[in-house]
Amino acid sequence: MGLDDRKLAVLRAIVEDYVSTQEPVGSKALVERHQLGVSPATVRNDMAVLEEEGYIRQPHTSAGRVPTDRGYRLFVDRLSRVKPLSPAERRAIERFLVGAVDLDDVVHRTVRLLAQLTRQVAVVQYPSLARSSVRHLELVPISTTRLMLVMIADTGRVEQRLVELPAPVPADDVTDLRRLANEKLAGARLSDTPPLVQALVEEVPSELRGAMTTLSTVLLETLVERHEERIALAGTANLTRGGLLDFQGSLRPILEALEEEVVLLKLIGETEPSTTRVLIGDENEFDNLRAASVVSTGYGPGATIVGGLGVLGPTRMDYPGTIATVRAVARYVGELLAQN
Amino acid sequence: MGLDDRKLAVLRAIVEDYVSTQEPVGSKALVERHQLGVSPATVRNDMAVLEEEGYIRQPHTSAGRVPTDRGYRLFVDRLSRVKPLSPAERRAIERFLVGAVDLDDVVHRTVRLLAQLTRQVAVVQYPSLARSSVRHLELVPISTTRLMLVMIADTGRVEQRLVELPAPVPADDVTDLRRLANEKLAGARLSDTPPLVQALVEEVPSELRGAMTTLSTVLLETLVERHEERIALAGTANLTRGGLLDFQGSLRPILEALEEEVVLLKLIGETEPSTTRVLIGDENEFDNLRAASVVSTGYGPGATIVGGLGVLGPTRMDYPGTIATVRAVARYVGELLAQN
DNA sequence: ACTGGCACTCGTTACAGTCGAGTGCCAGGA
DNA sequence: TCCTGGCACTCGACTGTAACGAGTGCCAGT
């Protein structure tokens, strides 16, 4: 009961038409708008098979067909080629990203750009600390018992945290602490720091032991365990396109999911293979997002991956175009990061 | 044609009922649910007057009355007392805010708390740099021609920016630059820095002149002119409560407005008088937000104001409760900041 | 100045009927 | 064997009509 070429062509046509018109597509309209070379009746037979196999469905009897999640999946995997970007889009990307002065700036511009180009919700993960190295650690005395710990990563990320010391530490000792910490940790990948930090505490002169212990706790806690990951979001207004037809009428669950950083990270952060990932409908693990699809990929300077980015939209989305845009933006961002 | 006490009581009753039921309220229902001591017919006469004066309106003939923006305004100004918070709410606030380790942490917790308590969209402005003082400036060499400039403000804000130097500067000179910059600028209010920065460039030894000029440009550009203000947002999912009845069916304009930092700053950032501000319906300047109301106030350690926070919701909102919550949260945040 | 009564308005709901897009199936033809 | 034209059928969308009822405005009476 395999699908022959024509049936696949029919599925492709259904997906394309439905994506662009947002209305169930019938056999007659199909043969009119695509050169299938057969009659509506034949198409109907094919449709019956496609429906039986779960690739399309009828919203109600006597309506046209609509792709199922499974249908989109087949379409993405086997029936579509990634669209090349238009020159206008390429230009838009370049224009948007030049002139960024900051990592913050880069991330914000990227997320807005992505939202604008795809007309969907865009999500960009800041370069993951776990995948970054320490460039420099700075200790700034705020008072005798308080330090501001500032860590600068090679990806440009800067994290800070207030440290309450157990006892007053003179300025000279702070200098020592800073020097020691930098000697041991500068250049180390953050994921490798725990043992180094451990060693650091032990090597330190006894009069600094207390301060260094506190410091190391904070270091590990802040940089390795806690919020660690940051996310930027843009384009939520795009959810309202397609007038409530997408997302079965309620934006509620989607908006709720978008507020959860953990959810977003799961969606775009898992970049094991450095390829583009497409999650269609209920392929993702969150009930709130059953009506949505996510296209995501990793980015980073050169071939390494330091974070993820992607977009979220209705299952009825232009997959080839979206995939192309997401990839292109990721590549440009990578180049931008490589320059710094 | 003034409004006597009973007419005001009727208006108050209409606002309260409409806010809680979300349905136009009729004369009969009014006398049943409030002790007005008069008959429906009398109430109808009062309503006719209130309508003529523009405080209420009928969505259509033979429907109940609904308050107008003007009606809400009168209600807020003269007919309502700020509700004291319930002990449960007070406890929630304290529980939510203890344990914050960071300015970032404080802001994020606050905005989520505010969204949760008011069940609306919450907005918190980070402490404004313009209202902060420089606590410390740090210069971290990244390469011979690149520095990372990190500024720590007394409010806990940390801003960083990459500086491209016109020529290589040896490490010792960086130390000098750092020392000079801190001597001149530490403790200064950021709004007062421009002349100080200017003076700094002129005092510097000639071999550092070039580097210092670049540095000062970046300083002024980043800290005074550019993004300067930051905003945190939460609770957008609350916009979907009241099933599309609020906001006349489309969240679009609201979501668009919420993406514009400038808009949000205008809404909650203007805290000239340190009192709570209520913008009802089209009282705000943005067309996109004509269907929304904003309750905002300033916050800061002690009596000074360093930033604004507030919530945005449908004009049909519980003003007394929302005002109370916004004020309480602002006060707690102020205390929290004062501790640091 | 308030109240009861009454006619009136108009949105909502229910129901019936028509229309038409789209289907499934079948018999006939390449 | 596969495709096609034809045909009966289904069912949602739309239209028109009628009954209902919440709510109003007005007026005469207390």
What is the rounded distance in angstroms from the CA atom of residue A232 to the CA atom of residue A125?
6
Q: Give the CA-to-C1' distance from B61 to D23 in angstroms.
A: 8
In angstroms, the Cα distances linking B33 to B25, B26, B39 are: 11, 11, 12
Q: What angle (nearest 5°) sits at the alpha carbon of residue A17, between those of residues A324 and A321? A: 5
Give the best-scoring range by mean pLDDT among A115-124, B186-195, B211-220: A115-124
**Nearest by CB: B259 against A160, A162, A234:** A234
Distance A40 CA to D2 C1' (A): 14
Q: Which residues of chain A have pLDDT under 50?
A: 1
B161 compared with A253, residue with greater pLDDT: A253
**What is the pLDDT averaged over residues B232-257?**
87
Six token digits for residue B71: 């009606």
CB contact under 8 A, A158 and B162: no
The helix (H) or strand (E) run that includes residue B309 is strand B307-314
Copy the structure tokens of residue B292. Answer: 């929304």
| Lowest-confidence region among A15-19, B246-250, B292-296 | B246-250
Task: Quote the pLDDT of residue B17.
Answer: 95
Nucleotide nearest to A64 (CA to C1'): C22
In this complex, the answer to whether residue A14 has its CB under 7 A from any atom of chain C, a nucleic strand, is no
Question: Per the structure block, which two tokens stand in for B221?
Answer: 């550009």
pLDDT band at B243 (very low <50, low <70, confident <90, very high): low
Report the distance separating Cα B111 and Cα A259, nearest Å.
12
Question: In Å, how far is A75's CA from the nearest CA of chain B?
Answer: 31
3-state secondary structure string, chain A?
CCCCHHHHHHHHHHHHHHHHHCCCECHHHHHHHCCCCCCHHHHHHHHHHHHHCCCEECCCCCCCEEECHHHHHHHHHHHCCCCCCCHHHHHHHHHHHCCCCCHHHHHHHHHHHHHHHHCCEEEEECCCHHHCEEEEEEEEEEECCEEEEEEEECCCCEEEEEEECCCCCCHHHHHHHHHHHHHHHCCCEHHHHHHHHHHHHHHCCHHHHHHHHHHHHHHHHHHHHCCCCCEEEECHHHHHCCCCCHHHHCCHHHHHHHHCHHHHHHHHHCCCCCCCEEECHHHCCCHHHCCEEEEEEEECCCCCCCEEEEEEEECCCCHHHHHHHHHHHHHHHHHHHHHC
User: What's at B73, amino acid-wise?
Assistant: R
Nearest nucleotide from residue B51 CA, by C1' atom: D24
Q: Between B104, B148, B236, which is nearest A236 by CB? A: B236
B60 touches strand C (CB under 7 A): yes
Q: Scanning every residue of chain B, which has its alpha carbon at the shortest distance from the alpha carbon of A139?
A: B138
pLDDT bucket at B221, cuts 50 / 70 / 90: confident
Band of residue B226 on the pLDDT scale cut at 50, 70, 90: low
User: Which residues neighbour strand D (beta carbon < 7 Å)?
Assistant: A 6, 37-42, 45, 60-63; B 24-29, 40-41, 44, 47-48, 51, 58, 61-65
Cβ neighbours of A163 (radius 10 Å): 20
CB contacts, 8 Å: B137 with chain A: none
Question: What is the CA A68 to C1' D22 distance in angstroms?
Answer: 45
B102 to A152: CB separation less than 8 angstroms, yes or no = no
Asked if A62 CB < 7 A from strand C, the reply is: yes
- Which tens digits make up the pLDDT trace of A230-282? 999 999 999 998 766 678 778 899 999 999 999 999 999 866 666 899 999 99
Chain B residues touching A160 at Cβ < 8 A? 102, 152, 158
pLDDT at B44: 94
A106-115, B127-136, B171-180: which is most confident: A106-115
pLDDT of B2: 66
Residue nearest to nucleotide C22 (CA to C1'): A62
Q: pLDDT of B143-158, one tens digit each?
A: 888 888 888 888 888 8
- C1’ D25 / CA B7, Å: 18
Shortest-distance nucleotide from A65 CA to C1': C22
Q: Residue B114 in contact with residue B122, Cβ under 8 Å?
A: yes
Chain C nucleotides covered by protein, CB below 7 Å: 2-5, 8-11, 20-26
> Do A13 and A35 meet the contact criterion of CB atoms below 8 Å apart?
no
- pLDDT of residue B89 exceeding 90: yes
8 A C-beta contact, residue A126 and residue A233: no
Residue A52, nucleotide of least CA–C1' distance: C24
CB contact under 8 A, B255 and A234: no
pLDDT at B160 over 90: no
Q: Is the CB of A51 under 7 A from strand C?
A: yes
**Min Cα separation B17/chain A (Å):** 25
Contacts of A135 in chain B (CB under 8 A): 140, 142
3-state helix, strand, coil in chain B (%, to 5): 55, 20, 30
**What does the block give as tokens for A305?**
């991956």
> What pLDDT, on the 0 to 100 scale, is given for residue A226?
63
A:136-195 Cβ neighbours of strand C under 7 Å? none
Q: Which nucleotide is nearest to A40 (CA to C1')?
A: D4
Q: Tell me which residues of chain B have a C-beta less than 8 Å from any C-beta of chain A.
A: 101-102, 104-105, 135-136, 138, 140, 142, 148, 150, 152, 156, 158, 160-162, 222, 227, 234-237, 239-240, 250-252, 255-256, 258-259, 340
Residue B1 pLDDT exceeds 60 = no
What is the structure's pLDDT at A271?
62
- Rg for chain A, CA atoms, rounded: 26
Q: Do A240 and B252 touch (CB under 8 A)?
A: yes
pLDDT of residue A245: 67
User: With contacts defined as CB-CB under 8 Å, which chain A residues touch B222?
Assistant: 101
Specify the pLDDT at position B296: 96
Check if residue B206 sits with its Cβ under 7 angstroms from strand C. Answer: no
The arithmetic mean of pLDDT across residues B1-24, rounded, is 90
pLDDT score at B273 = 65
pLDDT in tens, B41-64: 999 999 999 999 999 999 988 889
> Which tokens hold the place of A228?
């660690």
B43 closest-nt by C1' vs CA: C2
**How close A256 gets to chain B, by Cα (Å)?**
5
**Among partner residues B152, B222, B258, which is closest to A148 by beta-carbon distance?**
B152
Mean pLDDT, residues B203-232 taken together: 80
pTM of the model: 0.92
> What is the Cα A21 distance to its own chain's centre?
28
**Which residues from B are below 8 Å from A235, CB to CB?**
259
pLDDT at position B224 over 80? no
Q: Which residue of B lies nearest to A232 if distances are taken between CA atoms?
A: B232
Q: What is the pLDDT of residues B107-126, one digit of tens each?
A: 999 999 999 999 999 999 99
Whether residue B281 has pLDDT greater than 70: yes
* A162/B255 CB distance under 8 A: no
Rounded average pLDDT over B299-308: 90
